[in-house]
Structure 1
């Protein structure tokens, strides 16, 4: 199975999840292989959530058969119809062999991302199309070439979006859509008196709402891109309608919302010019823990428990909080502690000897020196 450069692996058989071949872990989806048909996989953890992927990155995933060398791939050229915006995680491929095309999901979010259709309300959204791609190689060739070929096909499909062949009048072709571009800059006088380029900002169009409301959007279309290093962005092939333009900039707190409603019409090209985002603050930053980038990657993630052989997302990593802080919760001392080593990546509960869970509270302590001036 392959879904990303750093997430490719030989998977076990579906039967390896049956009683007698595995041990169920803390939740039903996670098992440890105790007697797999392939002895090389002994002790590995299987959990379909290991293969979740952000919408913006979920472009191709699937399977390779080694004998004969055949590939089966699902390509999703656009995520405009997926709920929750670019960072919403969805399931992809997992043991079965299973290949999923998920458009709406409450995973990792809950009821906020479950569409609610009220009495008398009409609702219509076009999901897909997704592209199923099969490829093959000659016996003796490296089967992993099929993954490389699938990535090339994926890029072709992304460039071909929106497709021309769907007959439904609800699937709009390129000439029935509009485009928008601009440049996003950041004004934070406590950092710099000059405007700062919104380097690789996430910029998107979503139904009108409050700043950040795009994260809960699950009934309509949304269109996202990444700005370049200078803050320039272009969003292409947007369905006609009224939108708010939203953005967030890695390294800066808060959500940006353009003040005016953006109206997209067929064949239009809208140039917004320079947009200025002023992050919310009441004064200069005295100290901070981590980086405001909607990721916990910079915090401390210990090595996994050696009893679990993990491939990607480390099952059981959260339980190590109890090992490090068996009695008292972590205290972060500003000016002394280093969040890369001293701030656990998640606020996890403490597991007690009777296997019950105890809530935890992380604390930060700041030390200040009084300065007198004449």
Structure 2
């Protein structure tokens, strides 16, 4: 053997391989830990490091601070306002230059009296749960008759939960009114966060609705437009916004899609997100629209509002009616990434966190007898079918229809129901549905969906008991129908989305909506484009020749003739009949997607004759002005005597007769003419 030669070469190789494996495992462990630290995805559980246990300490008589090693939250006491959130090197992610930065509020009034805003400030602080895994605290206020006129007549219990290893705050509230309390109307209940404007400048509310945002200072210096919430930036501090329009309603969203939205700070890279894991405490069904985040920077959790509905949606209590409801929990989630990473990772992680919260609903860590846990809830399932013999001899699957439980009422009443709980799901392609985690109680079962008109209601009331599983089997909806379709305009989907939406004025644009065709309706000022496109004569649509996608304006608005003057408009539908049943009744079905201060009148073949139908005064949903493409759904079935029709060409005149303002008008969902019934 040569001097200096390795004595055991195979053994040395084995040692080197083992060292290499250990090094790889160590690097993977470090990478995994760094990933968790970057996105703060530590989950609550046992064996919690001391630095991550939840600690509550009363700093002074007017302040409560909770710290879990990731976030530190400061509350005013006993008011229960969130005054500070310390996170990832930011001393306060909220705007500490203003007083109102993290709060609840209710917009309310006694009938006939002025509108009031109540911040629901508590008068008593209480610790509900305190251990190393979580802290739940409560700020309450009890109403008495001596407070009438100054505070909304509600008992208030605001709850906040901070958990170990969780980067955020769970929030819920229990609001209650007792028998014989004064009459009251409530238009809006929400949670508001006003973020640090020096940090947060990028907003994300969906995958395709994200952008850098103007500041409130930019808005304050901008030109106010005809709709009071909309402004035009003429000389903003940030020149990139010059010439753009900003309006908080441009960022509205349907509740079925409104699960996560929020803001991003680029330095340091931090996200603040409002996550709503379930809609059971919201009102008005899955398509109810509401605000999300908007310039400020502001992010909202909207529980109730009259937005896109009007006073028909308000919560009105009369004759001592009692009421109690749990709003939430919702989750204010914070995350961060390394400065080397793309800040858009924050949005992707927020969606991941949202999915985890949805999966965890109902939460098992909420400590309130008013919030039922999973085993205290029930389930209902079945299959939704449609029977329309003029479409198919066979029953049709109610594919992707919405099916829901809501308080007992008439068909479609869920749309303006505002006091109870609602539970909705979307059926599969064969109409099969399952609604889980329903609170015990009595409900009506409702359904509606794409491609057919009207509303379904199951003939029997539904009683859900704890732990129950109910199968209603196949249920069949027969949409309104008197005879075969002669012609139709639009698609029955409860929106005006499929109709012609014009290009915006180049001087009144929001760049976020320049490219996405599905969101063109969100641009400002589109209502004025009608007079540009029809300067002298109103819209005329010829069945069989015109195409509703390019020839039917999305909103039937007034005509702006200048000097703050607006005229009614009359649209025409021209159609040809080869033969007419003069003794029969034809049926005109008109489904409206929206109405604001309007009255629709129908005339046949003579624009100066008496109208054969009028809706009367309808609508306060303001969807035209608020870029909503739909508000409340309305369906009208109008008898048309065959004696009014001609062999050959006929004309239906649609007059929107109210013209007091710029935003008066209706949006059509769908129009159909049916011939008399034939066997």
- Picking from 312, 329, 346, the partner of 2:555 is 346
State the distance in 2 between where 1:243 and 1:110 align: 25
- Picking from 3, 7, 13, the partner of 2:215 is 13
TM-score, scaled to structure 2: 0.54
The aligned runs of 1:203-214 (5 Å cut-off) are 203-214=403-414
State the distance in 1 between where 2:353 and 2:311 align: 36
Q: How far did residue 166 of structure 1 move?
A: 1.4
State the distance in 2 between where 1:308 and 1:140 align: 37
Structure 1 residue 69 corresponds to structure 2 residue 278: no
- Between 1 and 2, higher relative CO (CA 8 Å, sep ≥ 6) is seen in 1
1:179-220 superposed Cα distances (whole Å, 9 cap, x missing partner)? 111110111110110111111101100111110000010000
State the distance in 1 between where 2:389 and 2:432 align: 21
Provide runs of 4+ in structure 1 moved above 3 Å. none
TM-score, scaled to structure 1: 0.97
1:118 is matched with which residue?
318
State the distance in 1 between where 2:265 and 2:311 align: 38
The aligned runs of 1:180-329 (5 Å cut-off) are 180-310=380-510, 311-312=512-513, 313-329=522-538
Q: How far did residue 168 of structure 1 move?
A: 1.2
Q: How far did residue 363 of structure 1 move?
A: 2.1
The aligned runs of 1:164-175 (5 Å cut-off) are 164-175=364-375
Q: How far did residue 293 of structure 1 move?
A: 0.5
Q: How far did residue 356 of structure 1 move?
A: 1.7
Give the paired residue count.
369
Larger Cα Rg: Structure 1 or Structure 2? 2
Question: Equivalent residue of 2:371, what SS?
Answer: coil
Structure 1 residue 106 corresponds to structure 2 residue 306: yes
Structure 1 residue 133 corresponds to structure 2 residue 333: yes
Q: How far did residue 325 of structure 1 move?
A: 1.1
Unpaired runs of 5+ in structure 2? Answer: 1-202, 514-521, 581-679
1:91-126 superposed Cα distances (whole Å, 9 cap, x missing partner)? 110011111111110111111111111232210010
1:244-282 superposed Cα distances (whole Å, 9 cap, x missing partner)? 110102110111111111110000011111111111110
2:225 is matched with which residue?
25
Question: Equivalent residue of 2:231, what SS?
Answer: strand
Q: How big is the alpha-carbon RMSD for the aligned residues of Structure 1 and Structure 2? A: 1.1
2:51 is matched with which residue?
none
Unpaired runs of 5+ in structure 1? Answer: none
Q: How far did residue 309 of structure 1 move?
A: 2.0
- Picking from 27, 30, 54, the partner of 2:254 is 54
Question: Equivalent residue of 1:296, what SS?
Answer: coil
State the distance in 1 between where 2:234 and 2:242 align: 6
1:149 is matched with which residue?
349
Is the CA contact 2:244–2:507 (under 8 Å) kept in the aligned structure 1?
no
State the distance in 2 between where 1:101 and 1:116 align: 21
State the distance in 1 between where 2:419 and 2:568 align: 35
Is the CA contact 2:281–2:327 (under 8 Å) kept in the aligned structure 1?
yes
